[in-house]
Structure 1
Amino acid sequence: MIATSLFENGRYLALLVISIIVVGVTSYNSLGRQEDPSITPFVASVQTFYPGASPARVESLVTKPLEDALREHPDVQEIDSSSINGVSTIVIEADYYLSRPDIKRVWSELRGKVDRVTADLPEGTTQPIFDDDLFTTFVKIIAISADEGVDISPSLLRREALRFADAARKVPQTRRVKPYGLPDEEINVEINGTALSTLGLSVDDIARTLALSDSRTPAGKLASPTTALTIDVAGDFGDAQAVRDTFIKADFDSVTGIRISDVATVTKSETEPPLRLALSNGRRSVFLAVEMKEGYQVDKYSKQFDAFLEDYRANAADGLTIETTYDQSGYTEARLAGVAKNIIAGVLIVVAVLFVTLGWRAALIVALSLPLCTLLSMVVLNYLDVPIHQLSMTGLVVALGLLVDGSIVVTDEIRKHLLEGDEAIEAMQKAVKRMTVPLVSATATTVLAFTPMAILQGPSGDFLGSLATCVIVMLVMSLVLALSVTAALGGRLLPGAMTERPAWWRSGIVLPRARERFAASIDWSLKYPLASVLLAASVPLLGFASVSTLTAQFFPGTDRDQMYLRVEMPRSAGIEATLELVRQLDDDLRAEPLIRRVDWSVGESPPAFYYNLRSNKRNAPSWAEGMVLTRDENQTNALIRRLQKNFDRKYPQAQILVLGIDQGPPVDAPLEVVLYGPNTHTLRVLGEQFRQRLQELPDITHTKLSISPAAPKVEFQLDEEKLRRLGLERTQVAGLVDGYLRGRFGGAVIEDTEQLRVRAKLEREAWQDSDELLNLQIPLPGQLGQPRFVPLSAVGEVNIVPDDAPIGRRDGERINQVQAFLTRGVLPEEALKLLRQSLKENPIALPDGYRYSFGGDSGEREGVVNDLIGPVGLVMSLLLATIMLTFNSWRLTALAFGVVICAFGLSFLALALFRYPLGIMALVGVVGSIGVAINACIIILTSFQQSPAAASGNREAMRDEVLDSSRHIISTTLTTFGGFLPLILEGSQFWPPFAMAIAGGVLLSTIISFYLVPPAYVLLGAPQDNRIERAQLKAARGALA
């Protein structure tokens, strides 16, 4: 026996304790540290641009071919797509059960499929952009901008940002530095429309001239027996002046005497209009998002990066501001320090309770077991590559309330044998022998209860898996220590308390009157077992009855000094209009006393500053997102509600969502209805009906349709007869107009390591509105010097018509997503109940072939619960086998299962009494409470089995066994409740429901332990006694035969 060896050899015990401390501390220092768990990159996107194409053409020519190729892969779980004017976006979801290396393999294979399809896409489409990095959480976000009152050009801002990014990548353990809001530079050739018409040329002709003049093609190699010289033809564009000096070529054989500078203005400038913008505290800036290598410690990395930042600032150019807009290490340290503070407070409460109930020596032994168990667990967690973050620390908190049980039980059992007069080693050996089976069984049942959570896949598995893993590891390590180190320490330290003059601080408090009353209540429950069972069972039954009053929740929000804004203008809005609105919002926000910093990203998603935020917007001129830091995390939610009302009233021209940070996997909207059907128009009509129904609900701030109302567009109605007489084709006219407006690329200028493309286009003043578009000159076939051209108005007319609606698809089926956003603090399930009731009382008629389902928080929650329930059959079978092997009795196994069911009801009752929602974290607490409840049940039942008198149904013996077990059962109950009390009183959104489910359930479980288990044993007819009688009867019959 290990405990005996450690007891007899004090050096072995000291060596083992020191080894655990040294190895545990080393492992802790090696563990990665971050604020929250990392989400497995199981989602990727493919974005393809097809300029000028309608949603229907984008869907049929781009989206569908790509979807068909992607769907062939067996590991693709779901494909969502959106086809809007000129843009195809496909979101791919891989199988949750794949490992990270397998997911990388899937993305690599899908990239190959996309590349093969690209060759068959229509002319004019861009190369599809495959992005599998949608869930990156950056540890730092740096903003580079001009000093207040200093004006710097976008090109200088771009160069400084890229220079900083190159330097930051050299910081050790940096995985990536990604720029956001980076200005795009190009060589702009703005052509005078009149001059172009005079020459009878088009923008395509000018672009071709530029491309042919930019010589970059190698001219071969001059090889001889003694030399090998590479031949180049000089003439590539070295700067903008070289572009200006280029002679215009009319075709491949003739050259005019006219240079580019004679008909165009050539400048090096930012892309017009800009594709993306970033604002930091009201100034144009560039964000540099820094990602740390996985498995490293964010606090140590942050110190390294801050040192680099200080050095870089000291040598940076004058007039630049380089500041940190987001630093994860601060949140990580605060979050982990808060959890550690609660753990320490819980440990102190545990020690105080044990000091009163078991005496100071027993309290000291249990107090020593807590850090030893934690350090030993760190070794295993380091081996399993589980980093330290909020959820793994939560697992340690859960285990804190459970792991003391084993140490308390063993310590109290040794104490009882010492009081009976046994020698120290004999008392220790009896205690270990007596408690091995109950503790192993109780640990196994608790581990099995957490197993579905530990093997959960997908984003919810990333979020909850580390929590369950930590609980399981801590419980197993606690069991090992309780039966070895704790037992040896108990055998060595407790005898002193038994031989000295009895005092409550030495051997625990004794309350004779309370003990007598407790014994009398046990006597009554054993005398009237049916009444006792019914009364005790009524408490968990009341809990199950109260479940319907609990509000379902996915994951709770966070108490954080961060919020963000999503701004969406009408689809026809340009980026300048979006920027104008953003500046107005920025002024309003920075004037708010509770706000200390505001940063904006316009035209694209900002860098993700929280683990469940997606960066999935690109080239979206009508889109903007703001990142806001507040001064008080406790007032952030109230500020969100107030700002939402103000902005809705002040800026009706845009949809502005003021959102807070929530825990859990990413959810696009808290409330969502997904409509399925074949026809886009019908889906749009049905979607509008559902949207209106949602809008009628209370606490709905905004609604949104994926098939949104049509935006206006300019449509050319060309006269086919006129085109024929002039020798023109529709595609030719469309290409000419596109060249005038968007321009054509021809050549490039190399500056250092950057390539600036040369874009030829018509000067912008020539096409500010639809009337001016009619004046665009269309060149006709003819000879150079004899230009012939007609205005666009001569071949047709311009109309403003509704644009085609976007087309959404899910797994090849067309959909319309109707989303609703709620007032901050209102639970989505409450709104969903009202919506279900409205649809039940006044249903929306759906044509044949159409259906709907609920998404959002409800859909995600249902998926997580289904994943948790999936392995329940296997877990219950193993649980049954464990309990059956413990008791060797079907009736006692059924009784233990009944206790497990009662534990659920007791936790539900605790949540209902204090009006907490039933979220995923509360369910984690419910599962955690099972461990203590089943532990007490197993201890009492095994004590009955091991006592011949109690096993035969002697009620006085049963009462004595219950009284003997009551001290450590009450001690474990009080320590568990006390350990979670600081979390209950903390007042945040995350901890109280979870802590109340465990602590309240455990506290109420004493009713089941003392007033249901013993009388139920009586009602079952003393199973052990029945087995003995049957064995004796069988032996007697055998003897007679």
Structure 2
Amino acid sequence: MKFISVFLERPRILFLTLAFILLSGISSLLSVPIQENPELAERWGNVSVFYPGASPERIETQVINDLEIKLREIVEIDELDSIISQGYSKTHIELEDSVPFGKIEETWSRIQGKVDQIIPPDNVALVLNRTAGPPITLEYAIDWNGDGEPPLIMMSRLAQQLKRKFSSISLTKETAVYGATDEEIVVEIDSAKMSSLNLTYQDVAKAISSFDNKKPVGVVSDDRSEYLIRLKDNINSPQKVGEIPIKVLNNSEIIRIQDIGSVSIQPGTPIEDIFLYNGKKVISVSTTGTMSQRVYDYVDRVEAVVEEMREVLPEEFSIEEIYDESLYVSSKFSELIKSFSLAAFFVLSISFFLLGIRPGLIVTAILPFSVSLVLLGCQLIGLPLHMTSITGIIIALGLLIDNGIIVVEDYKFRRSQGLSIKESINETLIQLTTPLAAATGTTVFAFMPIVTGEGSSVEFVGGLAITVIMSIVSSLVLALIMVPVLMSYMEKIPYFANIKVHEEGYNNERLHAQYRKFLTWAFDVPRRAILISLSLPVLGFLLFGTIEKDFFPSSDRDMFRVHIDLPENSSSNKTAEKAKKIRKEIIESNLIEIEKDYWFVGRWMPRVLMNIVGGKEKTGSNNSAQAVFFAKDYYEMIENLPDLSRLIVSKNPDLVVYIDSFYSGPPFFSDIRYDIFGDDENVLVELGSELELIINNAPDISHTRSEATNSNTNVEFEFDSSNISLSGKNTELMVNELFAANNGLLISSMLDSNIEIPIRLKGISNSSDLTGGSNSLSIPSSNNIDLIGNYSTTSLNKSTSTITRISSQRVNIVEGWVWTGKLASETEMYIKDEIERFKSNLPPGYTLRQSGEAEVRGESQSQIWSSAIIYIFLITIGLVFALNSFRETILILSVALLSIGLSFMGLKIGFQNFGFIATIGAIGIIGLSINDSIIVLSHIKERAKKSLMTKTDLIDVVIRSTRHIITTSLTTLGGFVPLIFASIFFRPLAWAMSIGVLGATLTALLYIPAMYIWMKKVKN
């Protein structure tokens, strides 16, 4: 009270304090980082192994075994999965959820150290990629507008130039180029001419290398000066390469490379990476800004760089923006501002109507000051404004004035009893400080599991909980300090001199009489009130089994994705042809009006959204393509996407096609997934086929896949050892010649401007021959020319294309995808019994594990509930401290339990699924629901201390509490209503908490008094 007296007696200090709060909020709003999504810890990565020509078994034996052993020494690694294919493997790494943000960088550095300790075979490369982090901020397409075929080499150079410019922009995290070609100087040799000269590819390679003058020579100096000795680079054009001598005949005739082959600058082959924009082949350049910055400022810097490059670009080329994250940020913030304004309107309208002008003005004043304190808090702790943190402020709008309303109503009650202003303030603070602090504390503890829980799901919504906590704590401070002081000032204003403060607000004597009559009837037999208040929560629990389950709601982006898989051995060019065909079918279907689209062919989609993992490498996925389509109308897209998906799948029975909207939440790669662990490859294939059939027979399944059944076709050479021995040939020479003729040898490089172009030596391939003409490859012989085909036989061999390992064990991954618009949980329930029977019949040594969406969903749910248990115990301790009674604490905790049933009822009424966001709502409503009950119970206890309380006295207390209970409930509801209509992502939470708040009103006004009557044996 002494602290309050300072503001009562010295109003200048109060106004200066309020001015400081307001200015701090404005300053923070202008400087706090703004981005679309919260930052998630970078827990995902992979190690790519490039081993050209090696079989999966060879890569597993020579590289992956040692790699996994080394990586297992890092205790922070949770999952270690390897997918090994022909010439390439990828070991996926996922860190433990318990690894905090501060140790992520250190952990990845240690992982890099372990990778560097691996000593691979010659020509084998190991690359560590981190596939998490912020999504792409801006993406551009470099297009050719001239005549003829696009000059991919020139376009690729322009793309690399733009990429370098992006890298120099401040706060750029990473840049990337998609669809670019690898430029090479290709020396194609006629093997017959070469062999007639008794030369091999190795001889030609040595000849070219010997003329490469990139070696330092030294310096020459005397007493007065020093000069660097340089050799002029004699490989500075393809023509110079062709002029390199490779053999001298008869001491006079020089044979040059151009005499037995050709030299030219060509795109690298085979083509691994193609980017299509609106069906046209272009080169794409993307840039990703760091988190914790104002995305608009970063976009402005990038656009300035692009504009500079456009000015000097030849007119045949153009740079077009194809993706801008800031547009979605602006749209989302616009929607959030509308929601904020609408929520504020609801809150203030209800306050003015139910409380009156004077209390309404004071309660209104709390909003800007509370929000300013929240923004200041965001600035101090470094929390950016994004979709979850701002949603937390919107949710808290109704809560911000709850404490203020309770203080105002209690103050009005004291004044109605004839107390002076100071006495009323003093009594109000004495009576309400502890229960309000307890109520605020329970709400804080209810949201704390969302702040302190582990895992990406919790990190995603953590900002919401932080802003809610900061909001209600600031509102408590303002309610206990600012509200009483302002009420005293308002009473001194002449305009309000003739208005009694306790008579302000809506009054209806008839309604008052009917309400008293109802309470008398309900409390006359307390079971009546208890049954009425329990009806909705119990019904919610009973209906929970009928609520559909999902993980996270769909994204509210006007984007959908298309994934296609062709048969193994398909090239990127063939995949691009199919992508164009499917694109045409989507547009001609007229189901969804398409604004634009782009395809990543030969690679997985990069990080266009927060939960997309992968896409950095362009190796190992030539038969795959993934696309992003932008719809003109979001709701048309959502409505017609299931029909589009079925239509395109029916038109392409030879492909695997998957079409769906983007989802929110942490990444997972399939709707339904089971992992079969075992050692025998044949048994794994057989079990996988059986399990795949079980999943495929379930309803709503669009397609399935068993990893172990994947196979590809290889060309297999078998040397005749007897023939080779009799002829005196060298098997190693033949192997090297085959490698050089097909893959080519990287023997040197040429510097062109600021680009180093590799020089590749290879044979002239025969495109009509599946083996590339390898059988007719000539080799030196005593009889002038011999053919490799004379010493070998060639056959086509079909073999398993991939080996999959999880935690160093071989595994067959069986996956299933549901049709667009359907839920995986329903299919899982349908096949549950069959899966159990399959599991019980597994051979000894073979085990089954469920993964996919179900695993991620279960982990996320368990993480937050396990964290919630601790805070529920802390809530219990706080209630015992505030109420000084175990029985009353149990009574309040029973209200928390009932609120969970109310949240289920809200999901049912709003036709929402139960997933992670709904779980957040159920946990949050625990804290909100008991606030009103604590206040009502404290009012009842205050009255009981004065004299023996009858049921009539208790009804008077309930009626006195009703105004502010209803007002706080309606204002809280006003904060959720905009989210119900404007936010697809948070709609489950809004429905769960809205109905929970309304139900909590009945609980506070009926259940608490009725239980008190029963516990204390209150008489009539």
TM-score by length of 1: 0.93
In structure 2, distance between residues paired with 1:123 and 1:177: 30
- 1:100 aligned onto 2:101: yes
Look up the SS of the partner of 1:968 in the other structure.
helix
Question: What are the Cα deviations for residues 386-413 of structure 1, in whole angstroms up to 9, with x where unaligned?
Answer: 1111111121122223222111111111
State the partner residue of 2:954.
958
Residue pairs, 1:26-425, within 5 angstroms = 26-117=27-118, 119=119, 121-125=120-124, 127-147=125-145, 149=147, 151-248=149-246, 257-425=254-422
- 1:806 aligned onto 2:802: yes
In structure 1, distance between residues paired with 2:914 and 2:640: 26
In structure 2, distance between residues paired with 1:425 and 1:313: 71
Query: Greater CA deviation, 722-731 or 350-359?
Result: 722-731
In structure 2, distance between residues paired with 1:802 and 1:26: 67
What one-letter code is carried by the residue in structure 2 that aligns with 1:618?
A: K
Q: How far apart are 1:382 and its partner, in Å?
A: 1.3
Q: How far apart are 1:999 and its partner, in Å?
A: 0.7
In structure 2, distance between residues paired with 1:529 and 1:403: 33
Q: How far apart are 1:803 and its partner, in Å?
A: 1.7
Specify which of 842, 853, 856 is matched with residue 857 of structure 1. 853
* Alpha-carbon contact 1:952-1:1022 (below 8 Å) kept: no
Specify which of 992, 995, 1002 is matched with residue 1000 of structure 1. 995
* Alpha-carbon contact 1:326-1:609 (below 8 Å) kept: no
> Unaligned regions of 5+ residues in structure 1, if any?
1026-1041
* Alpha-carbon contact 2:177-2:285 (below 8 Å) kept: yes
Specify which of 486, 489, 503 is matched with residue 489 of structure 1. 486
Specify which of 542, 546, 561 is matched with residue 545 of structure 1. 542
Q: How far apart are 1:67 and its partner, in Å?
A: 0.8
Question: What are the Cα deviations for residues 13-69 of structure 1, in whole angstroms up to 9, with x where unaligned?
Answer: 211121111111111221111111222211111101111111111111111111111
Q: How far apart are 1:779 and its partner, in Å?
A: 3.9
Q: How far apart are 1:924 and its partner, in Å?
A: 1.7
Specify which of 908, 916, 928 is matched with residue 912 of structure 2. 916
Question: What are the Cα deviations for residues 925-952 of structure 1, in whole angstroms up to 9, with x where unaligned?
Answer: 2223223321111111111222235785
- 1:674 aligned onto 2:675: yes
In structure 1, distance between residues paired with 2:6 and 2:899: 38
In structure 2, distance between residues paired with 1:788 and 1:171: 59
In structure 1, distance between residues paired with 2:252 and 2:706: 55
Specify which of 828, 832, 848 is matched with residue 832 of structure 1. 828
State the partner residue of 1:508.
505
State the partner residue of 1:746.
747
Look up the SS of the partner of 1:773 in the other structure.
coil
State the partner residue of 2:23.
22
State the partner residue of 1:1032.
none
What one-letter code is carried by the residue in structure 2 that aligns with 1:1009?
A: A
User: Judging changes above 3 Å, is the alpha-carbon distance between structure 1 residues 197 and 481 closer, same or farther for their aligned structure 2 residues?
Assistant: same
In structure 2, distance between residues paired with 1:953 and 1:206: 108
State the partner residue of 2:610.
611
What one-letter code is carried by the residue in structure 1 that aligns with 2:325?
A: Q
Q: How far apart are 1:383 and its partner, in Å?
A: 1.4
What one-letter code is carried by the residue in structure 2 that aligns with 1:168?
A: F
Question: What are the Cα deviations for residues 71-97 of structure 1, in whole angstroms up to 9, with x where unaligned?
Answer: 112222221111111112111122323
State the partner residue of 1:947.
943
- 1:474 aligned onto 2:471: yes
User: Judging changes above 3 Å, is the alpha-carbon distance between structure 1 residues 394 and 881 closer, same or farther for their aligned structure 2 residues?
Assistant: same
In structure 2, distance between residues paired with 1:64 and 1:727: 38
Q: How far apart are 1:204 and its partner, in Å?
A: 2.8
Look up the SS of the partner of 1:532 in the other structure.
helix
* Alpha-carbon contact 1:558-1:990 (below 8 Å) kept: yes
- 1:578 aligned onto 2:579: no
* Alpha-carbon contact 2:179-2:273 (below 8 Å) kept: yes
Q: How far apart are 1:374 and its partner, in Å?
A: 0.9
Look up the SS of the partner of 2:766 in the other structure.
helix
Question: What are the Cα deviations for residues 182-207 of structure 1, in whole angstroms up to 9, with x where unaligned?
Answer: 21101011111321232233323322
Specify which of 870, 893, 896 is matched with residue 897 of structure 1. 893
What one-letter code is carried by the residue in structure 2 that aligns with 1:177?
A: T
In structure 1, distance between residues paired with 2:256 and 2:799: 41
In structure 2, distance between residues paired with 1:73 and 1:144: 42
Specify which of 972, 978, 982 is matched with residue 978 of structure 2. 982
Q: How far apart are 1:728 and its partner, in Å?
A: 4.2
Q: How far apart are 1:343 and its partner, in Å?
A: 1.9
State the partner residue of 1:430.
427
User: Judging changes above 3 Å, is the alpha-carbon distance between structure 1 residues 524 and 940 closer, same or farther for their aligned structure 2 residues?
Assistant: same
Question: What are the Cα deviations for residues 465-504 of structure 1, in whole angstroms up to 9, with x where unaligned?
Answer: 1111111111211111111122322332257697535799
- 1:758 aligned onto 2:759: yes
Q: How far apart are 1:210 and its partner, in Å?
A: 1.6
Q: How far apart are 1:910 and its partner, in Å?
A: 2.0
* Alpha-carbon contact 1:671-1:819 (below 8 Å) kept: yes
Q: How far apart are 1:664 and its partner, in Å?
A: 0.7
In structure 2, distance between residues paired with 1:560 and 1:74: 38
Query: Greater CA deviation, 695-704 or 447-456?
Result: 695-704
Q: How far apart are 1:706 and its partner, in Å?
A: 2.7
In structure 1, distance between residues paired with 2:339 and 2:523: 40
In structure 1, distance between residues paired with 2:492 and 2:846: 77
User: Judging changes above 3 Å, is the alpha-carbon distance between structure 1 residues 47 and 925 closer, same or farther for their aligned structure 2 residues?
Assistant: same
* Alpha-carbon contact 2:438-2:879 (below 8 Å) kept: yes
Specify which of 965, 979, 986 is matched with residue 991 of structure 1. 986
Question: What are the Cα deviations for residues 344-378 of structure 1, in whole angstroms up to 9, with x where unaligned?
Answer: 11111111111221112222222221121111111
Question: What are the Cα deviations for residues 883-926 of structure 1, in whole angstroms up to 9, with x where unaligned?
Answer: 00001111101111111111111111222233321111112222
Identity of paired residues, percent?
A: 26
Question: What are the Cα deviations for residues 688-724 of structure 1, in whole angstroms up to 9, with x where unaligned?
Answer: 2222222222222222233243222222232222232
What one-letter code is carried by the residue in structure 1 that aligns with 2:95?
A: A
State the partner residue of 2:701.
700
In structure 1, distance between residues paired with 2:767 and 2:700: 48
* Alpha-carbon contact 1:180-1:606 (below 8 Å) kept: no
Query: Greater CA deviation, 655-664 or 834-843?
Result: 834-843
In structure 1, distance between residues paired with 2:1006 and 2:266: 82
State the partner residue of 1:1036.
none
Look up the SS of the partner of 1:317 in the other structure.
coil
Q: How far apart are 1:534 and its partner, in Å?
A: 4.0
User: Judging changes above 3 Å, is the alpha-carbon distance between structure 1 residues 640 and 150 closer, same or farther for their aligned structure 2 residues?
Assistant: farther
In structure 2, distance between residues paired with 1:285 and 1:267: 23
Residue pairs, 1:927-946, within 5 angstroms = 927-946=923-942
In structure 2, distance between residues paired with 1:393 and 1:266: 61
Look up the SS of the partner of 2:813 in the other structure.
strand
User: Judging changes above 3 Å, is the alpha-carbon distance between structure 1 residues 859 and 495 closer, same or farther for their aligned structure 2 residues?
Assistant: farther
In structure 2, distance between residues paired with 1:261 and 1:884: 93
> Unaligned regions of 5+ residues in structure 2, if any?
none
In structure 1, distance between residues paired with 2:319 and 2:29: 34
User: Judging changes above 3 Å, is the alpha-carbon distance between structure 1 residues 503 and 481 closer, same or farther for their aligned structure 2 residues?
Assistant: closer
Question: What are the Cα deviations for residues 395-450 of structure 1, in whole angstroms up to 9, with x where unaligned?
Answer: 11222232221111111112222222322333223222221111110111111111
Q: How far apart are 1:107 and its partner, in Å?
A: 1.3
* Alpha-carbon contact 1:62-1:88 (below 8 Å) kept: no
In structure 1, distance between residues paired with 2:961 and 2:532: 22
In structure 2, distance between residues paired with 1:399 and 1:256: 90
Specify which of 872, 882, 886 is matched with residue 886 of structure 1. 882
In structure 2, distance between residues paired with 1:935 and 1:498: 32
